[in-house]
Amino acid sequence: MDGSKRITRSQSDRLLGGVAGGLAAYAGIDPLMIRIGFIALTLLNGFGVILYLTLWVLVPNEDSATDARGNVQVAINEMQAAVEQVVARVQAIFQR
């Protein structure tokens, strides 16, 4: 690589897909600010969810060495795992 800075999804600072952590690292700001921005966009017009999911699919992981198609498949697998985790948490709450 030519040393230029690029946007990637964070592996270390992630709550869901690492999108906010990656954007914050690229911009040099606190990830909480990006997360608040996504929440605000979601509450205002619903665009925050669409934007987050789109970036989750299109932006590669910071350690990714695969091509674009491989990145999409990795992102889809991560989304599936995240949904499964949320479903398991919800089931655990209701089984108490």
Does residue 5 form part of some domain?
no
pTM for the whole structure: 0.73
State the distance between the two ends of the chain, measured CA to CA, in whole angstroms.
51
CA distances from 50 to 21, 33, 90, 92 (A): 17, 18, 23, 28
The domain total for the chain is 1
Cα angle vertex 17, ends 62, 95, to 5°? 145
3-state helix, strand, coil in the chain (%, to 5): 65, 0, 30
- Residue 82 within a domain: yes
Indicate whether 34 belongs to any domain: yes
pLDDT digits (tens, 9 = 90+) for 58-81: 888 887 766 666 777 788 888 888
- Give percent of the chain above pLDDT 70: 92
Assigned domain for 51 exists: yes
Residue 11 tokens, joined:
């592996």
Domain residues for 76? 19-94
Contact call for residues 56 and 49 (beta carbons, < 8 A): no
